[in-house]
Structure 1
Amino acid sequence: MGVEVARVDPADDDARRCLSTYYAELAVRFDAGFDPTRQGVDDDAMRPPLGLLLLARLDGPAVACGALLFKAGLAKVKRMWVDPTVRGRGVGRTLLNALEAEAAAAGYDRVGLETNSALPEAISMYLNSGYVEVEPFDDEPYAERWFVKRLSA
């Protein structure tokens, strides 16, 4: 499988396409819909030094995205999305591993994320990747479950 992961600017055309497709999917899957402006994660939050955005390409086309936000003591995974046509092929896990490596390289020893119960495949991947469910650590408007993973030294 030819998955390549790289940092991109959130204004990149492929990043825009992945993010807008992700937002549209959440709007359908979440009972209350989805409005990304309610989360306070704009393009600047996904640019250094506040964060970063990764795109995963499978044999060329961008098929997944994921962001890291650098917070005090915790790197937060946000905007994690994999195109439904390639789910189950390891793209999400490859992207998550790359996000964790970026967090470690930035000096973080913990990565956290929150998610919605309407995304059982994501929850399964997080649990199978070593994330542990914890008490809420923020007031994310769409979150129903929170997870943290301690990164290896």
Structure 2
Amino acid sequence: MPMEIEFRPGRVDADEGAALAQGMRDELFEIYDGLRLDGPDMPKAGPEELSPPDGSFLVGWSGGAAVCCGGLKRLPDGACEIKKMFVAPSARGQGVARTLLHALEDEARRLGYAVARLDTGPKQPHAQRLYESEGYREIGNFNDNPVATYFAEKQL
């Protein structure tokens, strides 16, 4: 049975949202041999991009603990990009990532987006499998992410 999660607006640079986003940065730093997500060559996904009116950042709560996060940012062509999806290690294997993806898609629809895009890297095959199982279809490199090898979109 999937974990019950309550999603609330958060900030990528404050409180539990910042702690989860830092956990994601630390994990990717290990997985990708020193990758710095906030480096100059990486797509931007900070507080400016992941805040209203065109963006959003959600924190998922279960049992009083923040267990996941993810954000949306507007792309130049009017689609949105899902960014900073992260599930705390203690909450993995319980359907949280899928629940988070659905919450982000719902938030994108609420903000008026008709298309969601995302990417992931070669050392995260589980993420690619999740996205494919949820109807994302591979497209070309839309965001110049130098690490990603899988780029996809879904009609919302």
Same fold (TM over 0.5): yes
Q: CA deviation at 1:3?
A: 0.9
The amino acid of 1:53's aligned partner reads F
| 2:38 counterpart residue number | 37
**How many residues align structurally?**
150
2:70 match: 66
- Look up the SS of the partner of 1:122 in the other structure: helix
Residue number in structure 2 paired with 1:93: 98
Question: In the TM superposition, what is the alpha-carbon distance from 1:9 to its structure 2 partner?
Answer: 2.2
User: How big is the shift at 1:127?
Assistant: 0.9
Residue 36 of structure 1 aligns with an amino acid whose one-letter code is L
Unaligned runs of 5+ in 1: none
1:1-153 aligned within 5 A: 1-31=3-33, 33-38=34-39, 39=42, 40-71=44-75, 72-151=77-156
CA contact (8 A) 2:13 2:46 kept: no
Q: Unaligned regions of 5+ residues in structure 2, if any?
A: none
CA distance in 2: counterparts of 1:92 and 1:9, whole angstroms: 19
Q: Counterpart of 1:115 in structure 2: which amino acid?
A: T
* RMSD of equivalent CA atoms: 1.3
- SS of residue paired to 1:107: coil
Residues 139 and 151 of structure 2 are in contact (CA less than 8 Å); yes or no, is this contact kept in structure 1?
yes
In the superposition, the TM-score normalised over structure 2's length comes to 0.90
Does structure 2 conserve the Cα–Cα contact (< 8 Å) formed by 1:44 and 1:50? no
Q: Note the alpha carbon deviations across 1:64-111, whole angstroms, 9 max, x for none.
A: 110100123211000011112221211111111111011111111110
Matched AA of 1:95: L
Q: Offset at 1:121?
A: 1.3
Distance 1:3 1:113 in 2: 22
Matched residue type, 2:22: S
- Between structures 1 and 2, the one with greater helix share: 1
Contact kept, 8 Å, 2:11 with 2:18, in 1: the verdict is no
